[in-house]
Structure 1
Amino acid sequence: MDHGESAHDGAARNHLLLTPQPWVAGLTDIGRRHHRNEDALALTASAEPAARAVLVACDGVSTATDSHIASAAASQAVAERLAQPMPRDEAGEDDWLATVSRAFTEAAQAGSRAAAATAADGDPSPPSCTLAAAIVEQGMIVGGNVGDSRVYWLPDVGPQRAVQLGTDDSMANELIRRGMGRAEAEATPTAHAITRWLGRDAPEDLSPHLAHLRVEEPGWLLVCTDGLWNYCSDPADVWDLMQRAVAQRDGTPGSVVEALVDFANGQGGADNITAIVARVVPWDVAGQSVPAR
């Protein structure tokens, strides 16, 4: 597996494209209205498409001190834990998923410790961040989050199979759970108030909201911060956005993330924007990737 790439501090972070392998790319961008980029990302990927990848995005909480430092530290710590081997061929699926679940929780805890370590003593508003992460492992995808950054699976077959992997920790999601429609809930004044995060004052339970699936048709795995999904939230709408992004340029992951960020900036770019994509194809029982039909 590629040793990975991550985004840290400096002017390069204002618009930084990472492509650890041709089938995976991530882009973080300052947007149009912020004076610095508080998003961060970290990626690892195998040379063989769809064999193994780790995708991590962290969104610094803008109301906390120096959260751009916390998000960079957390994204790297999370990626390092999730990059540790978790081979599927050494255990049954249930045992493997239990191992992955533990790894995600340990990764979130490691990310939270890394974010907390960036805080100054006595800071009344210590740096913090959200987390969204996904792994690809031989035709299986596991994704989840702490906070309101997101993971989507967008199969080529159509928008009816598009899903969000995980559940927002936000006041908007609390309203949705109580029966309010998604669009209405996400338009409320407190929609983006998060209920869990990473950092010194994080809640005790940092187990990510996880979901998994077996890849049965080619598609795109997307990990993003709310700087993107603010403008396109429902999985079916994100699927449509992805199709437009693929069609606009040459369809490579690097061009796709550029198109997604351009879309968000074209809508106003009110927040920092991070989009990470992996082009994933099915994996047959012999352990070899198979081409799209």
Structure 2
Amino acid sequence: MIATQKIIYCPNPNCSHPINAAENQVCSNCQTPLIHRYLWSVHPNIQKLEAGEIINDRYEVIKQQIWLDTKPAKLPEIPTELSSSMITYLRCSQEILHLPQIYGYLSLKDSHDILLLENVPIDETGNLYPAISNAWKQATPVRQIYWLWQILQLWEKLEKFGVNGSLLLAENLRVQGCFVRLLELTNNQDNTSIQKLGESWENLISQAQPSIAEQLTSIVGQMRDPLVKFADIRSQINRLLLAASAELPLRLNVAGATDIGAELEHNEDACFPTGEDCIDDPLLPRVSIVCDGIGGHEGGEVASKLGVQSVKLQIKALLTEVSGQQELVSPELLQQQLAASLRIVNNVICNANNEQKREGTQRMGTTMLVAVQVPQQVQTVAGWDAENAHELYIANIGDSRAYWITREYCRLLTLDDDVIAREVCLGRSLYHQAKQRRDATALTQALGTKQGENLRPTVQRLIIEEDGLLLLCSDGLSDRFLVEQSWKDFALPVLDGEMHVEEAVYAWIKLANQKNGHDNISLVLTHCRVSPESIITSTPVEFSPEILETPGEATLEAEESEFSESIQLPLDLDLDLELDSENSESEAKPVKAKKKRLSALIWLLGLLFLLSAGLGLGLFTWWRYNPTTFGKACDRLPQGLQKICPKN
């Protein structure tokens, strides 16, 4: 059947008129947000389908393999027995940032079973994100290396399940901004050695950006050697990635807050930073933490606060250790150290439980979500020494969530530690099937409930190579897909310089109280900027001070140079005016000429006033928003001019 009008059904089971036009964002009857779930259909021998065709009275064909679920609230068809290919998808489900997940399947007459995949690289309009080969030429050097690094990471993980050959198929590799994503997983048919991977990269490397082409060509040449070690290739790609990313500037602005919620009497959440934290805290603005306590007012509230304070000490020690290293610390080692830090915090809370003789459900615990921007010194591709390689590590235990948000998309970075995820990862159940369990959202991991050696924290690394927002939040905000539905309203104004981070935090909390007021709400928002800074024109709020990272020496010298040039400009104008004045006194001119000269003088004085006012406003803005670099620039001025600089 061919649909004459594209429709989608409201997910609200109580809606009296659930049929909506597909282009609607909310139900025209009950105002419930509509779910536009685009699926990738895997069917080797199905007949050609026409756009608009309705399959099984539910799925509308957008393109041959892209289908829209018009009844997204209805449970998809679940097989009675899972095939080996289905189990592979389930076992790989932790890689939600890169890999699709099974949604359901269809069994049609005269056709093989059709596998339906969600979390696929399809945008909100039903179009595929570009293949890596099509996006490669326009990508920056950092992004090109970052894509290759992600492929290497996936290669090692998918090899365990015999599907790493999926990374050799050019059209299967898609990119959404800085992230590599796969359309589907395919079982290995031929040799899938690292030599094959190197061959698949050759066409990309031939079109690499000039600044990195030579190094990448050398690495791919090594990959042809049958004796090459995977770890050596990974190490070289990592070093090149950090060397390229370190050439970008990086500014961080962080704000956080926690709220009791609209319906509760106690707040068991805790986060860092909040408006109560000192702006001189050495962890700012590189560290953000969200904890959601478990165990009631006398337990959860204590556990979450204890967790925040304990992990801050661990991270401070880790950053101190990293700063003293002469060589780069590998991402694998940093991930191990962060996981070990969470286990130590776990044992602190666990010991408190034991001392208070808490047993069973009385034991207090907490989720923990930590993001750490680790600055490492590295020599850049251009050959100068940089102080920060833009690494961002995220460690997670529990169901608090992290998102990376840009102007184009919002991506969930973490996987909940709940019964649903456990059943899926063990290959026992499809996601939407496990979601029907009574204990579906019960936590399987939390800090303080058991000994640290039994914990399995998830730690991942991102590279900050684009402007974006890192959002960490408790389920008081993330429940009911509130982040996915509202991110544009809060993230875009911050990214466009129209709203301060603090304003966005409190506006998001206000919305969460309206929509998810059943729980405590905590969030920490970090604005990461690698592009030139723009001045925010809105009036700053007084919730918490803006925290800016001090730029590196190269940035400082550039700003000081601009400062020196700008203060010289009015002096040059004054000199020109004095020369004009002398000429007017020494030469006899008609009255009209004098009037013209007077008009010109007034015009020049007006111009001087405007320039001086603009300069003053610019200097004030610099002093107000970045007093550290302003003060350093003042220190380089002659002694006489230093007196006019404001004191911090």
CA separation in 2, counterparts of 1:97 and 1:289? 26
Aligned mates of 2:512, 2:338 — CA distance in 1: 29
1:75 aligns with 2:323: no
Question: 2: distance between equivalents of 1:32 and 1:90?
Answer: 51
Q: For residue 254 of structure 1, what is the aligned residue in structure 2? A: 502
**Does structure 1 conserve the Cα–Cα contact (< 8 Å) formed by 2:419 and 2:441?**
yes
Matched, 1:127 2:347: no
Measured in 2, the distance between the counterparts of 1:245 and 1:231 equals 23
Determine the C-alpha separation between the residues in 1 that align with 2:463 and 2:553.
13
Alpha carbons of structure 1 residues 252 and 91: separation in structure 2 relative to 1, 3 Å: farther
1:11-60 alpha-carbon deviations (Å, 9 max, x no partner): xxxxxxxxxx981111000001221000011238998xxx9511111110
User: Cα–Cα, structure 1 residues 212 and 283, in superposed 2: closer, same or farther, change >3 Å?
Assistant: farther
Return the alpha-carbon distance in structure 1 between the equivalents of residues 521 and 436 of structure 2: 19
User: Which structure has more helix as a fraction of its residues?
Assistant: 2
Alpha carbons 2:346, 2:452 under 8 Å: kept: no
Q: CA deviation at 1:187?
A: 7.5
Residue 219 of structure 1 pairs with residue 452 of structure 2: no
Say whether 1:40 aligns with 2:288: no
Kept in 1, the 8 Å contact 2:269–2:301? The answer is yes
Alignment-derived partner of residue 330 in structure 2: 96
Distance (whole Å) between structure 1 residues aligned to residue 373 and residue 413 of structure 2: 13
Q: Measure how far apart 1:172 and its partner are.
A: 3.0
- 1:30 and 1:223 mapped to 2: Cα distance? 17
Specify which of 144, 150, 158 is matched with residue 401 of structure 2. Answer: 150
Matches of 1:273 and 1:152, distance apart in 2: 16
The C-alpha deviation readout for 1:205-251, integer Å capped at 9, x for no partner, is 334212221112101011111111013267x546435436749x952
Shift of the 166–154 alpha-carbon distance from structure 1 to 2, 3 Å rule, reads same
Conservation of the 8 A alpha-carbon contact between 1:54 and 1:83? no
1:91 partner amino acid: E
- SS of residue in 2 equivalent to 1:265: helix
Count of aligned pairs: 259
1:173 aligns with 2:408: no
**Code of the aligned partner of 2:405:** L
Structure 2 unaligned residues grouped into runs of 5+: 1-250, 375-387, 533-551, 557-648
Q: Which amino acid aligns with 2:369?
A: A
Structure 2: which amino acid aligns with 1:151? A
Name the residue aligned to 2:8: none
Taking a change above 3 Å as real, the CA distance of residues 164 and 268 of structure 1, as seen in their structure-2 partners, is: closer
- Please state how far the C-alpha of 1:258 moved relative to its aligned partner: 0.4
- 2: CA distance, partners of 1:243 / 1:258: 13
Report the more deviating stretch, 33-42 or 83-92: 83-92
Corresponding letter in the other structure for 1:111: V
Shift of 1:87: 3.9
Query: 1:132 Cα deviation (Å)?
Result: 0.5
C-alpha distance after superposition, 1:235-288 (max 9, x if no partner): x546435436749x952111111011111101041111100011112399x886
Distance change >3 Å, CA 77–CA 53, structure 1 → 2: same
| Superposition map of 1:266-281 within 5 A | 266-281=514-529
CA distance in 2, matches of 1:190, 1:287: 54
Change in Cα spacing, 1:246 to 1:69, as seen in structure 2 (3 Å) is same
2:170 aligns with none
In structure 2, the residue matched to 1:57 is 290
Partner residue of 1:232? 481
Aligned to 2:225: none
Distance in structure 2 (CA, Å) of the matches to 1:233 and 1:287? 41
* Contact 2:370/2:395, CA 8 A, preserved across alignment: yes
1:206 maps to 2:455: yes
* Cα distance change on mapping 1:142 and 1:190 into 2, 3 Å: same
SS in 1 for 2:431: coil
Superposition TM-score, scaled by structure 1 size: 0.74
Answer 1 or 2: higher relative contact order, Cα 8 Å, separation at least 6: 1
Identity of matched residues, %: 23
Relative to 1, partners in 2 of residues 1:38 and 1:186: Cα closer, same or farther, differing over 3 Å? farther
Which structure carries more strand by proportion?
Answer: 1
> Does residue 23 of the first structure (1) align with residue 253 of the second (2)?
yes
Aligned to 1:9: none
Work out whether residues 469 and 491 of structure 2, in 8 Å CA contact, stay in contact via their aligned partners in 1: no
SS of the residue 1:27 aligns to: strand
Task: Point out the structure with max Rg over C-alpha.
Answer: 2
Q: 1:91 to 1:46 in 2, by over 3 A?
A: farther
Contact kept, 8 Å, 2:256 with 2:271, in 1: the verdict is yes
Write the distance in 2 (CA, Å) between the matches of 1:228 and 1:222.
11
Q: Is the 8 A contact 1:264 1:273 kept in 2?
A: yes
**What's the C-alpha RMSD, in Å, of the aligned pairs?**
3.6
CA distance in 2, matches of 1:99, 1:45: 30
